[in-house]
Chains A and B, each alone.
Chain A
């Protein structure tokens, strides 16, 4: 074989020669000619002129030649659609061939020819091939449907191919199943709302069976598809996990990673106190470590994913620090990723080892790697307090090496250490100042200037140092300029007598000679502050800064959740959502983790903050926060430093319905008392599944009590403060915040619409998706005047409960669409269930008594609420304000027992018994009718009563 000769012919008149050869009578010559054509095509030469001659060679019994011609056709058919028709007959004929390999080849190739007229002819052969007796043909035809869909989606739907494809999921051959799954998944991606991949327990079972039998690639398709399924409850979730775990031992890393994805996702639904949950956690670590012995490229993919996994569930790999130690010969991309993970895993237990490694790395050759290692030492100091001192001394050692980039990097991180541990390590400032001259990178210069300004009172020649920077003010980068401005203002406030001239100089440089609006603005603000109220200026500029935390480098929780759903894919490699790098409709769909399983142990959860429902608006980083940060000269600080730990009760709610979040809310105005420990009593087995679903409500309802607190008068239903439902950045400038209220028996949705865009908004309208209790707008959204930029308007929208009903997950979830002249925006929010408690919820005593007895035991849920200092009368009064009625009361052995009833808008009754002991009320709640309502109600509403 010396086919390489085809690559070398570059004579003039080549096309003519080829033409002649293609039309030759000799088969061998023909074949040679086609090979030459393909070789030219490969290197990028245009050989489309030979189209008719090549197509003439198509009718041959030589399979190799046929394949070459097909290859040519796929490349050029689009540019010569009319000529391509010549090939149709052969294709159709080949689809009928006796040899299944040829049938498959024909249908496979036809799907790749993107010419309308050819696709028309494709339908009939494709239909036949989808039902072919040979599995090889069927598996090829399955993929062909996806191809055709890519060319003409409508045609595929009209021809009913989608249904045939769905049928193939039940095919007897595992490869056919796998390809059908792949094709359906792809088609479903471009129809986000279609229920194309109708995954139900039966199909899931089929997929799991095929999983054991198909090729490694097929297993990947199936696992990726499984990951998009949402199990009904924790039991189903567990059984799928059990059948997926064997895949963790597959030699193919992609199979392993896809299995990890499924497990990470479905684990979310398992209660943490389940034995199986712990087993699963243990099973995940070894395969992840094994991925690190794969080829370097795969190691890289694995490490990027492990980085996410470690953030989501740090417990999985916490003992595996050593495997992430960098090897001398690792490619640089592997080294950098390992370093990142090492810092994430660093803890008090292993910090000594980690530091020793990092010090070693700081002497390596690759500049980027060394920088990152130095930075990592700083991050360790911030993360593990006990190690801070050792980190600082290590950094000082490194500064002594005088290697320029090491010094600069070290100064940047020492600045962060100062921020984290104020007044502890300032003794090193002198050493830092020695290196002032060698700093040539903006970040290091800015860090140094910040240090000088911040500690101006301790540095004798601070004014000289800063003055020396001022000389080249206009050549500095913005970062340095801003920092210099602030530092000099600080210096002035600390040593006003000697530095007046300096401050005037910098203010005029910043305001008069600079084109940078940020710099000018800040200069003016300082100027005005200093000239009008120096005391205020001091308070603002020298204000105490919030400490920075270790979490600053974590991926934002909602993004993390989305990325976890994309384990193994490019998104997880880039750490970006698919929408950031995929064009068109594909990938725009946001994936989310299933709602979190809840149970009594909420407080142990290490990641309560992160695990909140992604439904709730993500930790809102208000824009003024940044502004404030600027004024407080925090530009050097990592961005989240200005935001206090994630969010208050909003996110806590998910895990902490009864726990801490609530206590603080209730305890607030009542005063301390011995804590009692909250917990779920007799939670029935089926409960956890829907528990996780009820976030905000818990916290919100807790407030009920605060409101009426002390007075003991029914003051009407509690109204939670407004929360942001729709972020301006996600809705082209429209921000919506809101809350729900029940006023005089009417449910109202209170909305604040804010226009943060530059143009006027008009034509507002609102619509709800079907929801659990049939909530629907009772009238149109009353926004009569156009909303001009920066204007906020408050609207109350009355709601009825007569809308269409569909069970939502969580139960009190409400999906809303708001339209204006710009676009339609979607968001979802959750309403407190107390909204649905109707005024006539007071049950007749006799009826109550009879019903109470009839409640089956397993419909009962019990839990305790702590820290409430109310007597029973006050409590029942207060609850009545929320339409929770006390039917009877009795006192047994010093315990007050209140019997209560609640009626929901859809006619479901909830009965409850509340026991109050001196100091700590104890509740037993019972309900009947529909179990899932019971769970939700009991979870959410106990706080109301407390």
Chain B
């Protein structure tokens, strides 16, 4: 298991060091600094073995977090734990920075003592931790006996992510369907690979221990209902019948609150949510993706010292919708000496430091087209190697889900308290963002 955990600043100075196992010595702290942080080259692997000691590291801004072990540990678990630790720290004191870590080192030690025992990760849900690890430190002694046992049963219980007795005057929940659409397109406009990775993020402000059920236009569910419920109201079968109403989900993963065995057997998503914001599910689709933008590149080399670039972008969604924060990044060769750009819409600039022309458009409606042309002057070089022509990449945000996912319902039941499903105020929002959206040129 994890033998020790160290946090370093960018210079390699130790900010936190907690050793869990006897086989990890102080020299491990230095070994990582010397061999990884101070190593000149780029990091070639997130797992490093130095003198039969393995170091796992992740970086958050300029802070290094490293877990150390001498055993054959579950590597995936170690990384998951490191990410989790970052989450917990962020939940407690915000951004992970040298300043914040130094300011909260006592708290961090307390957390590390709690969430990692002898190198075995323990309950690390912030919801639970915050009930008994507090920044004040003194609070915990004033718990009554009932409160204490409530804490421990929550930390060890089946619903470790939620405490009992939560009360809201207004029961409210927010659902965000956040998708990132990824594309790799050939210069000829052929889709080499495209997929959407989506997340359903829920903010719940619900009283008690509400039992929730989430439904979306999952093809498997809709098809099943279509078959079984012919006598049902006609509205539903119509929903299933009209083409793009249901989507094929390649795979999805759920927050630990979701009952996986139930999903596996009935494909229904039921859970008792944590309080506040959390990620309910992640999913991935590859079929029938709506690609919000098409990029058409045209690069022509005029002699050895000039390049002509023309890029057309086309928006491909309902004209009533507006895309935002559009940015097209056209890479330029390293030996570029000057660039002239002409664009109809938005602003375009050559950024020498980034070796790219960056073209920004604030808003663009659907079914529109826009174009940029640029002349790039090159310095003559002796470099035999041809310019690699990195792909043209794009950023944008659209107010729909490119996968076609729709939330059908989110039902809330709390049998013990006096509120019912339709007393809950529910909000749903769809945001589609570009992931890695690239067109080769």
Interface residues of A (CB under 8 A from B): 1-4, 6-7, 35, 38-39, 42-44, 61-65, 67-68, 70-71, 75, 98-101, 104, 108, 111-112, 114, 134-137, 139-140, 143-144, 146-147, 150-151, 173-176, 179, 182, 186, 212-217, 220-221, 224, 243, 245-247, 249-254, 256-258, 286-287, 289-290, 293, 295-298, 300-302, 322-323, 325, 327-329, 331-333, 353, 360, 363-365, 401-403, 566, 568-574, 578, 581-583, 586-587
Q: How many residues of B sit at the interface, in one of the four size bands?
A: 35 or more
CB of B117 within 8 A of CB of A215, answer: no
CB of B54 within 8 A of CB of A581, answer: yes
Q: Taking each of A101, A104, A135, which has the highest tally of chain B beta carbons within 10 Å of its own beta carbon? A: A101
- Bound CA span A257–B117, Å: 22
A35 touches which of B106, B123, B156 (Cβ 8 Å): B106
Residue of chain A at shortest CB distance from B93 = A1
CB of A286 within 8 A of CB of B436, answer: no
B80 touches which of A71, A213, A298, A574 (Cβ 8 Å): A298
CB of B152 within 8 A of CB of A135, answer: yes
User: Which A residues are in CB contact (< 8 Å) with B440?
Assistant: 360
CB of A43 within 8 A of CB of B79, answer: no
CB of B26 within 8 A of CB of A44, answer: yes
User: Which B residues are in CB contact (< 8 Å) with A328?
Assistant: 390-391, 393, 436, 438
CB of A302 within 8 A of CB of B76, answer: yes
CB of B123 within 8 A of CB of A572, answer: no
The answer to whether A329 and B158 touch (CB under 8 A), given A101-B152, A251-B256, A254-B77, is no
CB of A217 within 8 A of CB of B47, answer: no
Known contacts A101-B148, A112-B118; 14 further A-B pairs (Cβ under 8 A): A2-B103, A63-B140, A99-B143, A114-B22, A143-B118, A215-B124, A215-B160, A220-B77, A257-B76, A287-B251, A327-B438, A329-B436, A583-B23, A587-B72
Q: Does B415 contact A (CB under 8 A)?
A: no
User: Which B residues are in CB contact (< 8 Å) with A578?
Assistant: 72
| Shortest distance between the CB of B2 and any CB in chain A (Å) | 11
Residue of chain B at shortest CB distance from A364 = B388
Q: Does B337 contact A (CB under 8 A)?
A: no
Q: Does B62 contact A (CB under 8 A)?
A: no
User: Which B residues are in CB contact (< 8 Å) with A217?
Assistant: 77, 81, 120-124
Q: Taking each of A65, A251, A402, A403, which has the highest tally of chain B beta carbons within 10 Å of its own beta carbon? A: A251
Type the 1/0 row for B204-246, where 1 means its CB is closer than 8 Å to any CB of A.
0000000000000000000000000000000000000000000
- Bound CA span A289–B155, Å: 33
Q: Taking each of A216, A224, A328, A403, which has the highest tally of chain B beta carbons within 10 Å of its own beta carbon? A: A216
The answer to whether A569 and B251 touch (CB under 8 A), given A44-B29, A251-B279, A289-B284, is no
CB of B152 within 8 A of CB of A100, answer: yes
Q: Does B61 contact A (CB under 8 A)?
A: no
Q: How many A-B residue pairs have CB under 8 A?
A: 293
CB of A136 within 8 A of CB of B155, answer: yes
The answer to whether A566 and B384 touch (CB under 8 A), given A300-B47, A325-B184, is no
Give 23 CB contacts A-B under 8 Å: A42-B16, A44-B29, A61-B141, A63-B141, A99-B143, A139-B156, A173-B156, A175-B123, A246-B263, A249-B260, A250-B256, A250-B260, A256-B76, A297-B46, A297-B57, A322-B193, A327-B438, A363-B388, A566-B72, A568-B75, A568-B76, A581-B54, A587-B71
CB of A250 within 8 A of CB of B156, answer: no
| Shortest distance between the CB of A413 and any CB in chain B (Å) | 20
- Bound CA span A68–B361, Å: 54
User: Which B residues are in CB contact (< 8 Å) with A134?
Assistant: 149, 152
- Looking at chain A's contact residues, is the secondary structure mostly helix, strand, loop, or mixed? helix
The answer to whether A246 and B264 touch (CB under 8 A), given A135-B156, A289-B251, A566-B72, is yes
B260 touches which of A179, A186, A247, A363 (Cβ 8 Å): A247
User: Which B residues are in CB contact (< 8 Å) with A186?
Assistant: 1
CB of A568 within 8 A of CB of B54, answer: no
User: Which A residues are in CB contact (< 8 Å) with B109?
Assistant: 38, 67-68, 71
The answer to whether A254 and B76 touch (CB under 8 A), given A67-B110, A249-B253, A289-B251, is yes
CB of B54 within 8 A of CB of A570, answer: yes
Q: Does B430 contact A (CB under 8 A)?
A: no
- Bound CA span A327–B193, Å: 10
User: Which B residues are in CB contact (< 8 Å) with A246?
Assistant: 260-261, 263-264
User: Which B residues are in CB contact (< 8 Å) with A323?
Assistant: 193, 195
Q: Does B138 contact A (CB under 8 A)?
A: yes
Residue of chain A at shortest CB distance from B387 = A363
Type the 1/0 row for B91-120, where 1 means its CB is closer than 8 Å to any CB of A.
000000001001111100110010001101
- Bound CA span A295–B81, Å: 12
CB of B106 within 8 A of CB of A64, answer: yes
Rank and list the top 7 A-B pairs by shortest CB-CB distance, nearest first.
A64-B137, A286-B251, A4-B102, A136-B152, A254-B76, A246-B264, A254-B77
The answer to whether A68 and B106 touch (CB under 8 A), given A212-B260, A328-B390, is yes
- Bound CA span A258–B259, Å: 18
Residue of chain A at shortest CB distance from B260 = A246
Q: Does B408 contact A (CB under 8 A)?
A: no
User: Which A residues are in CB contact (< 8 Å) with B263?
Assistant: 246, 249
- Bound CA span A61–B143, Å: 13
CB of A136 within 8 A of CB of B156, answer: yes
- Bound CA span A249–B82, Å: 21
B250 touches which of A112, A257, A289, A582 (Cβ 8 Å): A289
User: Which A residues are in CB contact (< 8 Å) with B152?
Assistant: 100-101, 104, 134-137
Interface residues of B (CB under 8 A from A): 1, 13-17, 19-23, 26, 29, 42-47, 49, 52, 54, 56-58, 69-77, 79-83, 99, 102-106, 109-110, 113, 117-118, 120-125, 132, 135, 137-138, 140-141, 143, 145, 148-149, 151-153, 155-158, 160, 184, 192-193, 195, 197, 250-256, 259-261, 263-264, 279, 281-282, 284, 384-386, 388-391, 393, 436, 438, 440
CB of B386 within 8 A of CB of A363, answer: yes
Residue of chain A at shortest CB distance from B269 = A249
CB of B120 within 8 A of CB of A179, answer: yes
User: Which B residues are in CB contact (< 8 Å) with A253?
Assistant: 76, 79-80
| Shortest distance between the CB of A933 and any CB in chain B (Å) | 39
CB of B253 within 8 A of CB of A250, answer: yes
User: Which A residues are in CB contact (< 8 Å) with B255?
Assistant: 251
- Bound CA span A256–B57, Å: 21
User: Which A residues are in CB contact (< 8 Å) with B156?
Assistant: 135-136, 139, 173, 175-176
User: Which A residues are in CB contact (< 8 Å) with B197?
Assistant: 293
Q: Taking each of B79, B197, B250, which has the highest tally of chain A beta carbons within 10 Å of its own beta carbon? A: B79
User: Which A residues are in CB contact (< 8 Å) with B46?
Assistant: 296-297, 300, 333
CB of A135 within 8 A of CB of B153, answer: yes
| Shortest distance between the CB of A417 and any CB in chain B (Å) | 24
- Bound CA span A297–B250, Å: 23
| Shortest distance between the CB of A930 and any CB in chain B (Å) | 38
User: Which B residues are in CB contact (< 8 Å) with A587?
Assistant: 71-72
B135 touches which of A1, A4, A101, A293 (Cβ 8 Å): A1
- Bound CA span A70–B106, Å: 12
- Bound CA span A286–B57, Å: 27
| Shortest distance between the CB of B238 and any CB in chain A (Å) | 30
- Bound CA span A243–B264, Å: 10
CB of B145 within 8 A of CB of A38, answer: no
Q: Taking each of B43, B52, B158, which has the highest tally of chain A beta carbons within 10 Å of its own beta carbon? A: B158
CB of B58 within 8 A of CB of A62, answer: no
Residue of chain A at shortest CB distance from B58 = A297
| Shortest distance between the CB of B163 and any CB in chain A (Å) | 14
Residue of chain A at shortest CB distance from B101 = A4
Q: Taking each of B99, B137, B393, which has the highest tally of chain A beta carbons within 10 Å of its own beta carbon? A: B137
User: Which A residues are in CB contact (< 8 Å) with B49?
Assistant: 574, 581
User: Which A residues are in CB contact (< 8 Å) with B393?
Assistant: 328
User: Which B residues are in CB contact (< 8 Å) with A586?
Assistant: 71-72
User: Which A residues are in CB contact (< 8 Å) with B389?
Assistant: 363
| Shortest distance between the CB of A10 and any CB in chain B (Å) | 13
- Bound CA span A220–B1, Å: 12
- Bound CA span A3–B42, Å: 33
User: Which B residues are in CB contact (< 8 Å) with A290?
Assistant: 250-253, 282, 284
| Shortest distance between the CB of B265 and any CB in chain A (Å) | 8
CB of B76 within 8 A of CB of A298, answer: yes
